[in-house]
Amino acid sequence: MRIHAVLIALLGFSATVDAEILRVGPHEPFTRIADAAKHAKDGDIVEVLPGEYRADVAVWRQKQITIRGVGERPVLIADGASAEGKAIWVIRNGDVRIHNVEFRGASVPDGNGAAIRLEQGRLHVSASSFIGNENGILTANYPDTELRIEDSVFAQAPHNVALPHLLYVGRIARLEVTGSRFHQGYEGHLIKSRARHNDIRYNLIHDGPGGEASYELDFPNGGMTFVVGNVIGQSATTQNPVVVAYGAEGNIWPESGLYLSHNTLLSDRMTGAWFLRIWKGALPANTEIKAVNNLTVGLGVFTLGAHGEFSGNIPAVAALLGAPDILDFTLSSDSILRRFGNLPGDAQGYSLAPAAEFALPIGTRALQPPQRWAPGAFQTSEYAP
């Protein structure tokens, strides 16, 4: 066993030593990302210099690779091109890290194009932008696949295709989204996930002016789902009154549960919102639902038709927030609403207490537990644009 471990360590060291840094840019060894993708080996790093890369689509087949923009974020513009008729980039089946890259205008003839198509494996995306794509990221349905998104932007769903989603996750093992912003959807959803485990924390999922998304968060097949510390907002021109939907298409996983804690849910819909809708009849009888210390802002209902444990959830009006029109959703330090929070507790071994807050324009800032918990996504009263 000891010799076997040493051999594995030596092989890992050898792979690191052999790894290359491949640079892409107008005056670099590779002028097209597609050529670097074909040349790169397992363990390599591909660095993409600033600029526009038009119709430069690629399939990444490596088992391990990092692709990162260097300096000002490089912009990949589809210009009608796609890899395998699917996406600007297709991730075949590896452990892939993408950092500081912008993807624009992904479209294909069947209307289901994506900036990134994750076929299988593990993908970690950070500090990246997905603008005007039929789907920002779209995954296949392999149950061992994992997707992690940090500090990224998904926006401006196109209006010339049916049901574009800013993020559409299939039947995979795990989805994590933190510190990211989603806005200006159209007909489809801001985030739709069929994953077995969903962890959505400290994001700005707010459709905003001109947005016409349907659901802001949709978990159609249940799954273990944690939604903590987010701003989740529905525009006045929404296509559907539901803000957070759970179980609409029936359960597919051996266990499901929905846990919402310290979210600020908003609606500008004049005829009212359904802030939380749960399809109880489509879920197993033992599905646990818990919602604690959520703040609902605007006309609408939260617990109507829902079943489960609800505590510390407070309705409010926009005037009690800092300035929603400039994305300030904080409560003042002397707000009366601060009196109504409860201890968040935990569920399934996960804390429901927020450990961070969303910070504009993207990202998070660490949060120390306050002496008393307030409802909503922000414990601090400082607006930091």
Q: 7 — phi, psi (to 5°)?
A: -60, -45
Measured distance CA(259)–CA(350) in Å, rounded: 10
Asked if residue 330 is part of any domain, the answer here is yes
Asked if residue 146 is part of any domain, the answer here is yes
- Cα distances (Å, whole numbers) of residue 158 to 106, 123, 154, 242, 382: 10, 25, 12, 21, 34
Give the chain's mean pLDDT: 94
Give 215-225 pLDDT, tens digit per residue.
Answer: 999 999 999 99
Asked if residue 231 is part of any domain, the answer here is yes
Could you tell me the pLDDT band of residue 275, with boundaries at 50, 70 and 90? very high
Could you tell me the pLDDT band of residue 293, with boundaries at 50, 70 and 90? very high
pLDDT for 19: 84
Asked if residue 6 is part of any domain, the answer here is no
- Any idea what DSSP says for residue 37? H
Look at residue 188 and tell me whether its pLDDT is greater than 50: yes
Asked if residue 203 is part of any domain, the answer here is yes
Look at residue 7 and tell me whether its pLDDT is greater than 60: no
Identify the domain containing residue 28 by its residue range: 21-366
pLDDT for 307: 82
Domain count, the chain: 1
Measured distance CA(237)–CA(301) in Å, rounded: 18
Look at residue 156 and tell me whether its pLDDT is greater than 80: yes
Report the percentage of the chain scoring pLDDT > 70.
95
Asked if residue 375 is part of any domain, the answer here is no
Asked if residue 5 is part of any domain, the answer here is no
Asked if residue 380 is part of any domain, the answer here is no
Detail the DSSP E strand segments found in 191-267: 191-193, 197-201, 204-206, 217-219, 224-228, 231-234, 242-246, 257-261, 264-267
pLDDT for 11: 47
The amino acid present at 222, given as its one-letter code, is G
Look at residue 16 and tell me whether its pLDDT is greater than 70: no
CA dihedral 278, 282, 288, 289 (to 10 degrees): 0
Q: What is the CATH number of the domain that holds 41?
A: 2.160.20.10
Among positive and negative, which fits the CA dihedral 162, 145, 247, 227?
negative
Look at residue 114 and tell me whether its pLDDT is greater than 50: yes
Give 115-150 pLDDT, tens digit per residue.
Answer: 999 999 999 999 999 999 999 999 999 999 999 999
Among positive and negative, which fits the CA dihedral 60, 64, 70, 72?
positive
- Once rounded to an integer, what is the mean pLDDT over residues 288-301? 97
Could you tell me the pLDDT band of residue 384, with boundaries at 50, 70 and 90? low
Give 82-97 pLDDT, tens digit per residue.
Answer: 999 999 999 999 999 9
pLDDT for 162: 87
Report the percentage of the chain scoring pLDDT > 90.
90
CB atoms within 10 A of CB 14: 11
